[in-house]
Structure 1
Amino acid sequence: MIKKHLNPIIIGKICSPYGILGWNKMFSFTENKKSIFKYSPLFYFKSNIINSLKIVQWKSIKNYFLIKIKNVNDRNTASLFTNKKIFIYSNQIQKKNNEYLWNEILLCKIFNINKNFLGIVVKILRTYTNDILIVKKNNCKEILIPFIKKKIIKRIHIKKKKIIVNWRE
């Protein structure tokens, strides 16, 4: 059973087998892609059971990695890991004061500096210049708010799930 109070965080995905010697392709969702290998232990679900994932070797290939999982030595066994999401628990991440994770921003209530409720963060888009909060209020259309600290994002209260922005409706 997953430990809900520890907040599981998906940080990658195992993809298709690669070759015949038990390697898999893997995508990392961490900001610095190689950071995924700093976390230990890694976990994945198999038949609704949490399992530890032991990566014994890895290679960087363009925008993904090749990984060798412990005791996986052939393509058929590697195929059993196809589309498995890799996760860690939030207590495995060491944060400094005033740091937060993107998943902590999700579902935060957004208020402008005039205390008007703008909606709830439903998604975060990564762009080349800056990230964008996608905010939705009831069933209305989405509001896109650039994540630019100080200029637009005035205050983030993670514990209160509240963000204050300099933004008009």
Structure 2
Amino acid sequence: MLIAGKIIKSYGILGWLKIISFTEKKEKIFEYSPLYIYINKKYKVIEIEKWKKNKKKILIKILNISNRTESEKFVKKNIFIKNSSLPNLLNDEYYWKDIIKCKIFNKKNIYLGKVYKIIDTQTYDILVIKTNKKKIKKKEILIPFILKKYIKNIDLYKKKIIIKNYSNFI
């Protein structure tokens, strides 16, 4: 299961909920149905009766939830989707979930650190590498996720990324 969003708070008196979507295009969260929440130590399908965009907010109405009191039990719950509901990607396309925790090496196979976060700048993504090497003064290295220019090779099976031009980032 993957976290695709989060229920933030109740909205109004009729049981609507405000959510944050972690999908690239916010409304696409509804394309990955069914959606689940983890409640009472198990994943439970939540059936979305309606959803709407209100300014920059996404609001949902869960089937059979008709008032604010009933909707409160969903507040602060993550919204999950099954990993298998993600579409297959083309060559040189990657899901962030697969890149996070990859080990980063330079061309000489020297370990630099692990990807622990990715920043979306709208132009391109930036890998944030946490390093604990004493030779590297920075605790974080930022690497643009631009294939062939900065990223030489990605092996998701080994969770290993080889970068070019390491000196540009320290």
Q: Identity of paired residues, percent? A: 48
1:104 correspondence with 2:98: yes
Query: Which residue of structure 1 aligns with residue 113 of structure 2?
Result: 119
Query: Which residue of structure 2 aligns with residue 144 of structure 1?
Result: 142
Q: How many pairs are equivalent?
A: 162
Q: Any conservation in 1 of the 2:112–2:133 contact (CA below 8 Å)?
A: no
1:40 correspondence with 2:38: no
5+ residue gaps, structure 2, are: none
Offset at 1:33? 0.9
In 2, Cα distance between equivalents of 1:131 and 1:57: 32
Trace 1:82-93 onto structure 2 (pairs within 5 A): 82-93=75-86
Deviations 1:2-34 (A, max 9, x none): xxxxxx210101121111111111111000111
Query: Which residue of structure 2 aligns with residue 61 of structure 1?
Result: 54
Query: Which residue of structure 2 aligns with residue 156 of structure 1?
Result: 154
Question: How well do the aligned residues superpose, as a CA RMSD in angstroms?
Answer: 1.5
Offset at 1:97? 4.2
In 2, Cα distance between equivalents of 1:64 and 1:158: 34
What letter corresponds to residue 11 of structure 2 in structure 1?
Answer: Y
In the superposition, relative to structure 1, how do residues 114 and 125 fare at CA in structure 2: closer, same or farther (>3 Å)? same
Offset at 1:96? 2.9
Aligned partner of residue 159 in structure 1, secondary structure: coil
Deviations 1:115-154 (A, max 9, x none): 2211111111122432211112237611111112221112
Q: Any conservation in 1 of the 2:8–2:17 contact (CA below 8 Å)?
A: yes
Query: Which residue of structure 2 aligns with residue 5 of structure 1?
Result: none
Q: Any runs of at least 4 consecutive aligned residues in structure 1 with deviations exceeding 4 A, and if so which? A: none
In 1, Cα distance between equivalents of 2:78 and 2:124: 27
5+ residue gaps, structure 1, are: 1-7
